[in-house]
Structure 1
């Protein structure tokens, strides 16, 4: 929920005692080493692999919002997954009580209390949905109420809603859409640096005009920053903002279980493939001709397109066209997240490139491997590794 209206609800929605208990549980988990988390330093736009207490899809949505933000708010810096997670914790306890599909859709929907002036939740002044669009977002309610895991008012969503999972719609009850909208709303439309404490506090205060709310969000942000730093691990993504956007796009397709389709996919997304000899077939049956999906180079072309970079369609052409080449001799240590990793039957020649993946860090890549599989993450195939390419 955003705006002055939400200040009326701050006292009713915040639960300091529950928050304090959860804080103790999370810190204890860190000290016992039971959390698996990867993050950059506080204030850097790194992402994390997992955090206890945050559903994986919600965390993926926060990571994706950080990676996507440079495309929609290029003058905003300092956004972190921990800030978005802190707001998600305060607003809906990370969509607690609802199921979150791989594409981010949340069921049942998350609603705040009706702002009917009844005093429930601290509201004393009635607020109404005045348009059909507002009522449609609000489940047909006459009275307004906050909606979705990040608790936007319907009118605010109509003005600010973002499409975080690239499905063509902006839905407040979708984790990816809600997280990206939160990030852009915090940034505003002017230049902003959220690594500066004064600008950070102003951004949160704009989200909800309550100093108690700002303090609660900052408490959770500090907790999540400490969790992320506790392992001393490298970011799950990192490198350039472009590389982060490439990885985020690939992860979305992985989360959606997009299948492999020989010849399928490109800058426009997954598409029907075709069969070429044995390619595209499984047990002698042509699957590609009726499977909407990606082959390896179609996935990399799409992911780079989502980051605003046009690359060639085939793996060999992507290898040949890379402005920066990382030789096999540099090993995986020479790679950054978002780099392409190439494979050949003759790795030292630079010819016969037959496969490409997207490096995500930690020796892992996301790729469309072969017919019968979905887009997936797995270790880089070192036996046929032919080096990397950076655009």
Structure 2
């Protein structure tokens, strides 16, 4: 890759050779054209790398969301199986009690029948009374037998339902395994993503290029927020007005604060307009309050980005995620998991970038968030 610092070396070499000025100028112009062509090629390559990085992170985000939903569905099926087993065990206990009662009744009826026949022969007692008592025992035994049949049928039905649920769990586990295999297949791509990010960083190492990139990212985000402000206001379930939650908002993530609002960026870029919170990849990111998702997609410089509209011009932004669990238009509650921490958008290490805005202007989150959660410094 060509570098601009090579230009002074060419000029010094020309001067040392004492060549005619016209020749020096021609060589200098040719070198400028060569550098311009190389710079144009670098920029094109940088754009291609950015598109490749975007596609990779979108795919990783989809796999993460799919695994999240599959795990939740499998857990619900396992809970239903546990409930069915409890019901089946209760029915089996009832069957056991009925069987024991039936055995006692049959023995009692048999003993009573023999005694009554002996008594009838010895004492010439009323034969009708003996017959009625034996008939009563037979009817009671038949009722018990019918109840046993009903319970056995119920146990069979529960066993069949359990079998079907077990098949569903196996199906879900198969889907989980397939999704996990896809995720594992993307592991090499994750390594490639890190290499791509490093190459991109080397390509834009010059401070002027980095500043231009950061300002362009900020302008794109400002344009996005302005367009979102023009969307219709919240119409459902606003709950407590967002402004009244000042100082009481829940933290979006438990982790170490790596950068605070207003602190300078490394390399001389614009100041931070939010919080950068470090955490492990995949850690749950939670909505700070009730609202509606108005943006859930990849944005250059911010990676997988989620924006929640809380009404009255207030919005919260969650950037650099590994996966987004909510889609545009969905309503969320405060504390609900909406994403997973990642390093999308060109970060080296996983972290959540969090902003609060009102009418498009950034707010210092420190004045809005409640007591710092465990692990936040």
Higher alpha-carbon Rg: 2
The alignment's TM-score, normalised by the length of structure 1, stands at 0.23
